[in-house]
């Protein structure tokens, strides 16, 4: 494997992040070889992407090769990124480069909307197969349920649509033997997601386990992970800062180890069921999300949650409060600094405290 020397690493980072402090670039350059098995989800880097695009419209940090190299410079063990459709030659080149870095890859793709969308989906799954991904992560219901839907019936209609998309996807992911990892994306509650997996009944359809999302639907923090663990193909590993507010609670991504969750417990649950499972960091630098579970509108779409679910969730928030970050009022360069620091702190915690 060709190793980047300090001069090459700093040059690369200066091209990536002009306008960010030299101290930040130097810190990244020092991590030019993998130091943790934890991967990085591309959404972690949205502010850095925006900064680069402001400087040069032709530069996109989410371009697969560019993102892979960026993750490598940060010392990450994997890249969770949208691959799109690639030629076999390009996919092979990507696979070989990831292998040289000793990194795993998870793809991100959209499910087939209908029969007409199957060629696009098949092309992306084929590319993922040729890259040699751990899994291909997808989302089957749009938006945060309690924000997107005005009634339980409206949600159920989209739930049926999501199930049909998975049914369409099955023959293709089975053909290419690419595990389709459906994220718990503040959409279905865990009991219903497990029913979906049982209904599909395919060894190539399972979970991208997001360790924080289901709490927004008043699922049990650790019980939800226990339920999803047998189906896990990939992990969006996150900590969350929980805080009470008048209409419910705030849910904010925070560097690993600084939030409200027992990350070692979560990791143990997942690794007990899937010892070889790779984890990817998801720490989206932003203001905390509002979960208005004490307002009537919330319950119009989350109708199956119970009063005991609400009580348990609010007790957990009260007993495990942590302060989130306010980012939206800052200039972009400062937002990038926060984003960089959140990623760096999380990778360090994963390596030193979790052994990832």
Whole-number percent of the chain with pLDDT over 70? 90
Q: What is the pLDDT of residues 132-177, one digit of tens each?
A: 999 999 999 999 999 999 999 999 999 999 999 999 999 999 999 9
Angstrom distance (rounded) from CA 289 to CA 63: 28
Closest CA to 39 of 279, 321, 238: 279
Angstrom distance (rounded) from CA 98 to CA 81: 12
Q: Are strands 232-237 and 205-210 parallel, antiparallel or unpaired?
A: parallel
Which class in CATH covers the domain with range 22-353?
alpha beta
pLDDT, averaged per 10 consecutive residues of the chain (356 residues), comes to 40 43 38 81 98 96 98 97 98 97 98 99 99 98 96 98 99 99 98 98 99 98 98 99 98 98 98 98 98 98 97 98 97 98 98 96
What is the reported pLDDT for 2? Answer: 40
What is the reported pLDDT for 32? Answer: 54
What is the reported pLDDT for 81? Answer: 98
Contact 258, 302 (CB under 8 A): no
What is the reported pLDDT for 33? Answer: 64
The domain ranges of the chain are 22-353
Outline where DSSP puts E strands in the chain: 39-41, 78-82, 104-108, 136-138, 180-183, 205-210, 232-237, 239-245, 248-254, 279-281, 289-291
Contact 211, 176 (CB under 8 A): no
What string of DSSP letters covers 242-288? EEEETTEEEEEEE-TTSSSS-HHHHHHHHHHH-TT--EEE----SPP
Contact 174, 200 (CB under 8 A): no
What is the reported pLDDT for 306? Answer: 97
What is the reported pLDDT for 113? Answer: 98
């Amino acid at each position: 494997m060709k190793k980047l020397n300090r001069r090459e690493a700093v040059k690369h980072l200066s091209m990536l992040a002009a306008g960010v402090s030299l101290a930040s670039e130097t810190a990244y350059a020092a991590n030019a070889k993998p130091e943790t098995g934890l991967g990085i989800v591309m959404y972690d880097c949205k502010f850095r992407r925006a900064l680069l695009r402001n400087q040069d419209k032709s530069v996109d940090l989410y371009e697969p090769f560019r993102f892979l190299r960026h993750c490598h410079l940060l010392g990450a063990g994997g890249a969770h990124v949208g691959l799109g459709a690639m030629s076999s030659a390009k996919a092979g080149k990507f696979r070989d480069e990831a292998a040289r870095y000793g990194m795993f890859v998870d793809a991100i793709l959209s499910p087939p909307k209908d029969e007409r969308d199957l060629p696009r989906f098949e092309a992306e799954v084929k590319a993922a197969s040729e890259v040699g991904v751990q899994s291909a992560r997808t989302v089957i219901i749009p938006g945060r349920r309690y924000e997107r839907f005005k009634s339980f019936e409206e949600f159920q209609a989209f739930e049926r649509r999501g199930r049909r998309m998975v049914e369409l996807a099955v023959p293709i992911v089975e053909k290419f033997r690419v595990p389709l990892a459906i994220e718990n994306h503040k959409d279905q509650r865990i009991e219903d997601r497990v029913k979906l997996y049982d209904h599909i009944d395919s060894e190539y359809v399972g979970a991208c386990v997001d360790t924080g999302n289901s709490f927004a639907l008043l699922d049990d923090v650790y019980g939800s992970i226990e339920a999803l663990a047998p189906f896990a193909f990939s992990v969006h590993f996150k900590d969350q800062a929980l805080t009470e507010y008048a209409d419910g609670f705030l849910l904010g991504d925070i560097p690993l180890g600084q939030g409200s969750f027992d990350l070692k417990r979560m990791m143990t649950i997942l690794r007990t069921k899937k010892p070889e499972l790779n984890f990817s960091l998801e720490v989206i630098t932003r203001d905390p999300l509002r979960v208005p579970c004490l307002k009537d509108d919330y319950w119009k779409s989350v109708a199956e949650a119970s009063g005991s679910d609400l009580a348990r969730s609010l007790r957990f928030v009260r007993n495990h409060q942590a302060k989130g970050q306010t980012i939206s009022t800052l200039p972009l360069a400062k937002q990038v600094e926060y984003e960089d620091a959140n990623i760096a702190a999380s990778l360090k915690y994963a390596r030193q405290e979790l052994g990832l």
